Structure 1
Amino acid sequence: MNQNKTVLILGANSDVAKQCIKQYIAKGFSVIAASRNTQSLENFIQQNNLNSKVKVLFFDGADFDSHQQFYDKLSVKPHLVVYAAGFLVDNEKALSNFKETQQMMTVNYMGAVSILNIIATDENNTNLERIIGLSSLSGVRGRKSNFVYGSTKAAFTTYLAGLRQELAQRNIKVNVLVSGYINTKINAGLELNKNLLMEPDYVAKHIVNAGSSFTIVPNFKWKLIYFILKVLPESLVAKLP
């Protein structure tokens, strides 16, 4: 039973994170949902009658100096942590506007490392059982259509892999969700293959039911694509869009 266990979801206003909130509650967890957009979260929680099981907090991944205070003020230290914050701009815009690139670096990687380092190094938190980070297949190999965004996700995946080794001695599990296209607001307006689109609740199910394997790739089609990307020669990767 998970009645006395708490999940901290950082970047909880994402579509996948909102589905995680519902599914963790269904499994008996209490949820701390943290985001810059607390009003949107409050609306979601009220619409789904989740008030008694969710505590909403303000969290800004880009405000590194506030992270220690945010963590120290948590009334309950979490058993599970999910980092779900993400930011995406297309590659052309990222190449011509470094502020957009910097925002992706900050949200997708630097903010994650800042807060997760604080959480992971708190040896007084004997509750901590698992940390899960949301990455992307874009970070598996550099491709000309999205390598700036992909580089931030590749960095995050590498960080989580090392964190997994670091925390193994304390029996704390670390997972990375490596997802393909998800039908979410971050992908709104992009021309994506509809046959490969996954729904947020489907992806959330794989997060909430994470096991011992480090890498979680939802959907057999994306598992195949992931494997192909991993082994494809560089000369062929260069021909991909």
Structure 2
Amino acid sequence: MEKTLNGKIALVTGGSRNIGKLTALDLAAKGADVIITYRERAKAANETVAEIEALGSRAAALAVDFGDSAGVAGLADAVMKQVRDWGSQDLDILVNNAGTLRIGGFDQITGDDLDAIYTTNFKSVVLLTQALAPHLAEGGRIVNLSSGLANGAFPPLIAYGPLKAALQSMTLYWAQIFGARRITVNAVAPGGLDDDFNAKLFDEIIPGARDYISGNTALGRVGLPEDVSGVIAFLCEPKASFVTGATIRIDGGFKL
């Protein structure tokens, strides 16, 4: 693979599994050094670090709970300490991937559910980006993880989709704010992916979900994390320098 990101340093939140892990590996394969965050899966995070290093890039893993936004400032400090330890003053790539899920209809969702999703999927993302903004390199990259549910209703995830819509909207604001520094800001909006993030939804809540998605998708299958990570990595490359403020659907043509 062409090393288009040699000399770049990336932060991928939630990088121990699923989309985050594969994004970290894709960026490393292109030459970037990668910092990942994890909440509680230390073993998985360390395995991801080892896989990144096997690709010839430097790697580090930092623990953080995005459900407690008070820890975000400390995370930003830890990230920049690692960046400086690697001999740089700038972070080149920020992938806001970490997120949480609460399943329940309108009459089931609780205040605690709403608080958890708001804090993890929106508030902490905003605060982390704000804290790291002064340290982002000229011509850097920000990619936010939105969802197809930001633009379509699915009742069991009524607490999830609207907050992804808020992050998708914030992507537009950031694209304008960071444009003067040639920093691009984009979002990706995956459809329902067959991974362990959605396992409970697919296997327990709606057992026929895989068949429903594949039957209503132009490409005839359910998406996978690797369908998303490659697009994120592309958005971080020099060749994507004129793409900003975009939200890219990655759903195989669901309900076209």
Q: TM-score range by the shorter chain?
A: 0.7 to 0.9
Q: Contact conserved, 2:189 with 2:247, CA < 8 A, in 1?
A: yes
* Separation in 2, partners of 1:23, 1:60: 24
Q: Any unmatched runs of 5+ in structure 1? A: 229-241
Q: Contact conserved, 2:17 with 2:44, CA < 8 A, in 1?
A: no
1:192-231 correspondence runs (5 A): 192-194=209-211, 195=214, 196-210=221-235, 211=240, 212-213=243-244, 214-222=246-254, 225=255
Query: Is 2:182 the partner of 1:157?
Result: no
The offset of 1:66, in angstroms, is 2.4
Q: TM-score, normalised by structure 2?
A: 0.78
Which region of structure 1 is more displaced relative to structure 2, 88-97 or 206-215? Answer: 88-97
Q: Contact conserved, 1:11 with 1:84, CA < 8 A, in 2?
A: yes
2:217 alignment counterpart: none
Q: Contact conserved, 2:147 with 2:188, CA < 8 A, in 1?
A: yes
Q: TM-score, normalised by structure 1?
A: 0.82
The one-character-per-residue Cα deviations of 1:63-111 (angstroms, maximum 9, x if unpaired) are: 3222223212323132000011111121238834321222111111111
Give the share of equivalent positions with the same residue, in percent.
22
1:64 alignment counterpart: 69
Q: Contact conserved, 2:109 with 2:159, CA < 8 A, in 1?
A: no
Which region of structure 1 is more displaced relative to structure 2, 95-104 or 169-178? Answer: 95-104
Q: Contact conserved, 1:94 with 1:148, CA < 8 A, in 2?
A: no
* Separation in 1, partners of 2:100, 2:190: 15
Q: Contact conserved, 2:103 with 2:109, CA < 8 A, in 1?
A: no
Which region of structure 1 is more displaced relative to structure 2, 136-145 or 40-49? Answer: 40-49
Q: Contact conserved, 2:138 with 2:181, CA < 8 A, in 1?
A: no
Q: Secondary structure at 2:102's aligned position in 1?
A: coil
1:1-241 correspondence runs (5 A): 1-37=4-40, 38-46=42-50, 49=54, 53-73=58-78, 74=80, 75-76=82-83, 77-92=90-105, 95-120=108-133, 122=134, 125-126=136-137, 129-189=140-200, 190=202, 191=206, 192-194=209-211, 195=214, 196-210=221-235, 211=240, 212-213=243-244, 214-222=246-254, 225=255
* Separation in 1, partners of 2:231, 2:222: 15
Q: Any unmatched runs of 5+ in structure 2? A: 84-89, 215-220
* Separation in 1, partners of 2:17, 2:107: 21
* Separation in 2, partners of 1:204, 1:94: 34
The offset of 1:145, in angstroms, is 4.0
Root-mean-square deviation over aligned CA pairs: 2.3
